Amino acid sequence: MSKRRDLIKYREALLEIGEIMKAMKNMALVEQRKISRYFESQKVAIDTLQNIANDFFPAFPDLLPRTQLERPLYILIGSERGFCGDFNSSLVGFWEELEKSSTLSNSYGLILVGSKLESRATSLKKIIKAVSGPSVAEEIYPFIIDFLDTVRNCLIENEHPTSISVFFHMADSFEIEKKTLLPIPVSKEKILAAKKKAPPVPLLQVNAREFFEDLLDNFLMAGFFFAFYSSLLAESKIRMQHMQSALDQLEKQVGELNKKANRLRQEEITEEIEVILLGSEALKKKAKKEID
């Protein structure tokens, strides 16, 4: 009896955990839909700014950076929370492969975003800063405002970086994507074509230099919003998958406990019947002796 009670008590605890996880899953689903809307709007914004840059720079090629020195700043966006599988370890593995290759510049700096990523990235080189990242959609805007100051104040070998690139998970494929934010990537074909044939000059309400500086600021901010919303959405989707997998395992375990509890109950009933039969036999024998 006590063994069956223990099983039932354990089953009830699992069922309670399951209800909590279902509530967490529903909250995560609401958050995921919210992030998805923000992500789509930022995707449109960054595409629009990229098209503007593609039209602007062929008309004003002198504003393109001409430095030959490479001091890139790389940013890896991980997660602040756990329970998202290999989300962070895949970033670390991806970067370790880049370190082994010859694609990285000799002089670069690395910023890690996300406490969980930081705890797994102890083997990475040239980390100049690690910061806690946003964990929900509402935290992204204030985080980016502060993060922009962090990026602007970063120095690589006592000099400002010559380029900024961010590595993050794409929301739809979960693949790790690299996006260069500064200098703004522009099609080389368009620049070469502009040298052969003068392109139409955009009609600007401000001078080209001022427009260029505003474009850089907006592209950098929009790029960060796009990258962080994409990363957070991918993280949320992976977490949802793990929650569902955990719930499936929990339901399977509860089913097994139900079977065990039923078997124990059947054994208890059998024992009770045997006791009744033995008692009945003893009463019959006693009655027979009294008659004799």
Q: 128: part of which helix (H) or strand (E)?
A: strand 127-131
Rounded CA gap, 185 and 178, in Å?
A: 12
Tell whether 75 is covered by a domain: yes
Tell whether 12 is covered by a domain: no
pLDDT-based confidence at 168, cuts 50/70/90?
very high
Domain span at 53:
27-242
Tell whether 196 is covered by a domain: yes
pLDDT of residue 128 exceeding 90, the answer is: yes
Token pair of 164 as six digits? 């900024």
pLDDT of residue 67 exceeding 70, the answer is: no
Q: What sign does the dihedral 244-178-164-94 (CA atoms) show?
A: positive
Total domains in the chain come to 1
Tell whether 276 is covered by a domain: no
- What was the pLDDT predicted at 55? 87
Tell whether 176 is covered by a domain: yes
Instruction: Read off the pLDDT of residues 199-235 as tens digits, 9 standing for 90 and up.
Output: 677 888 889 999 999 999 999 999 999 999 999 999 9
Tell whether 89 is covered by a domain: yes
179, 164 Cβ separation under 8 angstroms: no
Tell whether 149 is covered by a domain: yes
Residue 265's Cβ-count burial label (10 Å; 0-12, 13-18, 19+) is middle
- What was the pLDDT predicted at 181? 95
Tell whether 259 is covered by a domain: no
- What was the pLDDT predicted at 82? 86
CATH number for the domain including 146? 3.40.1380.10
pLDDT of residue 1 exceeding 60, the answer is: no
74, 109 Cβ separation under 8 angstroms: yes
